Amino acid sequence: MRPLHAGRAVTRDEAGALRALEIGLSRRELLRTGFGGMLLLAFGAVLPSGCQTYSPIARPLKFLSRKEFAVVTRAAVRILGLPDDRGDEIGGFIDNLLADLPPRTQRQARLMLRVVEHGTHLFDLKPKRFTRLSPAEQDTYLQGWMESSLGARRIVFRALKTLAALGYYAQPSSWEAVGYDGPWLGRVDVASDFTHEEPVSLATVRARLAPR
C-alpha cells in the first residue's frame, strides 16, 4: 500500500491500476519528454475519448475535441482563480497554440487531458468525471494533483498550470490586471542596426561547394 496523496491510502484496485500505470510509464516513449512530461499518459491511453456528452462549442476548434476543451477550460479557470466566463476565451487560445505543436506533443496533451478528466475514478474514488464535479470538488481534486506524493501527478499539474498560464497570461487582455506593460515592439522607437543575411537557393549553395 502506498499513498496516492496525503491522507488516504490506496485500495487494492487502485494499487493494481497504479502498477499497470507504472509498467506503462517505464516505457521510454512515455517517460521521455514532452509537454511538461506527462507520466500518466499510459493511463490516458486506455480511457474513453468520446465527446457525446459534452456541450457543443460556439467557436470552431482547430485541435481540441469538445471533451478536451471542457477539461482544459475548467482546469484553467480553477487553477488560475479566474471567473468561469473566461474559460471559453482561454480554451480557444490553447486550442490555437496546440494546433501548431508537433504531433507527439499534441498526442501527449490529449492523453493528459483524458487522464485528468477520468482520474477522479482512480484517485478520488468519485463516481463523476472531473468536468461534472462542482467547482469546490474540482479544486479539491486538482489540488490533490498539485500536492500529491506521486511525482507523476505533480508534473501533470505543472503541465496543466503551464497550459493555463499560456492560455490566459499570453493574452494582452490579462496584462493590465497584473501590471505588465506589454511588448515594446511597435510602441517604442528602437531599431536594429544589424543586417541579417538573406538565405539563398540550393543552386547557389551547390555552386559555392563546387570543386575549386
Partner 1 sequence: MILDTGTVDGDVALESDVCVVGSGAGGAVVARELAEAGRSVVMVEDGPYVTSRDFVQREEVMYPRIYREGGTIATAEYAVLVTQGRLVGGSTVPSFCLCIRPPRAILAYWARAFDLPGLAFEALAPHLRRVEKQIGARRITPEQVNPNGGKLILGSEELGYRGYLPFHNRRGCVDSGYCALGCTYDRKGDMLTTFVPAASKAGAVIVPDCEIRTIATRDGHAVGVDGLFNRTRTGQRYSFKVRSKVVVLAAGAINSPRIWRASQLPDPGDEVGRNLHLQPHVVVSALYPETITGWRGIPQGYVVDEFLRLDEHSAGRGYLLIPTSGFPVTAASVLPGYGAQHRELMTLYPRLGAIGIFLHDHTRGRLEFSDDAPPTVSYRLGTMDSEQLVDALVRASDISFAAGAEKVFLPYNDVVTIGHRGAYQAIHERGVRPNDPLFLSFQPQGTLRMGGDPRHAVVDGVGEAYTVRNLFVADASVFPTSVAVPAQLAVMALASRTAQHIVASAAQYFA
**Of residues 12 and 196, the one with the C-beta less far from partner 1:** 196
Cβ(120)–Cβ(133) below 8 Å? yes
- Binding marks (x or -) toward partner 1, 89..118, rule CB under 8 A? ----x---x--xxx--x-------------
- Can you tell me which of 11, 19, 33, 84 binds partner 1, judged by CB under 8 A? 33
Count of C-beta atoms within a 10 Å radius of residue 21: 23
Cβ burial of 87 (10 Å; 0-12, 13-18, 19+) is buried
Which grid coordinates are listed for 114?
483524458
Distance CA 36, CA 173 (A): 26
Closest distance to partner 1 from the beta carbon of 101 (Å): 6
Cβ burial of 95 (10 Å; 0-12, 13-18, 19+) is buried
Q: Which residue has the cell 489540488?
A: 143
Closest distance to partner 1 from the beta carbon of 136 (Å): 11
- Can you tell me which of 1, 28, 56, 103 binds partner 1, judged by CB under 8 A? 28
**Of residues 51 and 96, the one with the C-beta less far from partner 1:** 96
Given the rule CB under 8 A, which residues bind partner 1?
28-29, 31-37, 39, 78-82, 93, 97, 100-102, 105, 139, 142-143, 146-147, 151-152, 154-155, 157-159, 161-162, 164-166, 168-170, 174-175, 177-180, 183-185, 188, 190-194, 196-206, 208-209
